[in-house]
Every structure is written in C-alpha cells, then in structure tokens.
A = this chain, B = another copy of it.
Amino acid sequence: MAYSRERRAILRLLSFIHPTPAEIEFLRSVPGHEVQAKANEILCTGEEGDALYLLLDGWAANAVISVDGDERINAINLPGDMLGMASFVMASPFDRTYALTAVTLRPIQGATLRKMFEQFPRLAATILLVAQEERAVKNEWNSLHALTAERRLAGFLFRIGERLEKLDGPSGSRMVIPLRQKHVAEVIGVTPVYIHRLIHQFQQEGLIDYERGTLRIADLDRLQALSGLTRWQVVAPRWLPEPV
C-alpha cells in the first residue's frame, strides 16, 4: 500500500523514465509535510504566488470563471497530478483548483523545482514532458469540440476511465467518478439541463450508472467507440539528458 501510494505519486513521470536511485532519493527527500483538505475546499487560487501541490489522494478540479460569470472546468485531477502548474506563468490567473473529494496534498516549494533544474536535469526535462502531455490532452479536447456533446462526453469518460485503469488496475476501483451533473456540464461545456439529458441517455444505453454525485463507468469500450478516440500513449523523446 505504502509502495503503491508512493508509486502513484510519480506515475506521470514513470511513463517517461525509470528513475535512478539518486533521482528517487531526491524525489523522496522533497521537504514539506502532507496537507489534508475536505471536499469543496479551494486548494490553490493561483493568485497567492507560486503555490504548487502534488495531489496524493482524492480528486480535484481546476476551473475558470468565464467573463459571463459561469464556471468552466479545465481539468479533473487525479492522484499524481501537479496542481497549480497550469497557470503559474499568468500574471493574474483567473483559475482556481478545488477538492472534489477529501484530498491529500504535498506542497512543492519553488526551491525544490529550482534544485531539480539545477541538479537533476533529467527529472526537470520530464516535468516538461508531463506539461507537454497535458497540452496534448488539451489539443485533443479542442478537436473534440467540433463534435457533438454526446461524443465529447463519451471522450471525457473514456479518458478518465483510462486513467483510473492506470492508477488502480483494470477494474479501476470500479470506475467511480465523484462528479455531480453540474461538474460534468462544466467539463463538457454544455448547460446542466442538457448534460442531464445526455447522462440520462447514457444511463439508458448502459454506458454508465449515475446517481447524484457519483458516476460509474459501465462500458469503457463502448464509450471509446462512441468517442472515436484511440488509447492514450506517450513516449519519451530521445534527447532526454542522462540521469544523475
């Protein structure tokens, strides 16, 4: 359990590199102690400087409040994700990350990142790769926006299911997603009224099970087929620095 938890924390890195003992040691020595937060608590607003966290347990969401006041979810975060990365370059970020469930976080200090860039170039480069992966996710999501909301929903659920598989094994903790209809609407970019109809339809078709606040994936394969997406696969470029 302790092992798998530690492994989950660096799972995103593991899809690109096999850390050396020295690298592992550095990652393990990251200073700071874990923080707990309850559902709905705001984890980072972006405004308070360079607040970075590694999500260890639980679910979080990163959202922006659009010009018109309504909210839009940029990303759903699972254990292993870095929180606060997306907008730390913005002079006045308008996004905030909040907990969807009870969460455990580990704060990452700026000094840690600096040290990583100065002494563990391969780890630093891998951070870049993870960032680029997120960017690729966004690009894909962008192209889904030309499709119907039905297919976008299928695509979203498929990608989440895939991640759950990676985190928790094939059963993916029975693929339970702690999202209310309102959240899903904000992810997909449709109104709550319409997402309700879509979720209802998906439920009828046996693709998901839904009950207030909990969405369970019932048929990942058919969701994939409906979305038209292929499985997500990343690969490290050949130029990665030598490990320390």
Contacts and interface: CB of A to CB of B under 8 A. Distances in A.
Interface of A: 16, 49-50, 64, 66-68, 70, 72, 74, 85-92, 95, 109-111, 113-114, 117-118, 121-122, 124-125, 127-129, 131-136, 138-143, 145-147, 189, 228-230, 233-242
Contacts of A89: 16, 129, 132-133, 136, 234-237
Given A67-B228, A90-B136, A138-B135, A114 B241 contact: yes
A146 to B, nearest CB: 5
Nearest to A93: B136
Nearest to A72: B143
B117 A241 contact: yes
Nearest to A244: B118
A118 B118 contact: no
19 contacts: A49-B238, A64-B140, A66-B146, A66-B147, A66-B228, A67-B147, A68-B228, A70-B146, A72-B143, A86-B132, A88-B237, A89-B237, A91-B233, A91-B234, A92-B230, A113-B239, A117-B117, A131-B131, A146-B189
A114 B50 contact: no
- When all copies of this chain in the complex are counted, the total is 2
A64 B146 contact: no
Interface pairs A-B: 3 shortest CB-CB: A110-B239, A67-B228, A91-B233
Contacts of A142: 72, 74, 138, 141-142, 145, 189
A92 B140 CA distance: 13
Nearest to A142: B74
Contacts of A241: 114, 117-118
B128 A238 contact: no
Contact of A74 (B92, B132, B139, B147): B139
A76 B112 CA distance: 34
Given A70-B146, A121-B121, A124-B124, 13 more contacts: A64-B140, A66-B147, A86-B136, A86-B139, A110-B238, A110-B239, A114-B241, A117-B124, A131-B135, A135-B135, A138-B139, A141-B142, A145-B189
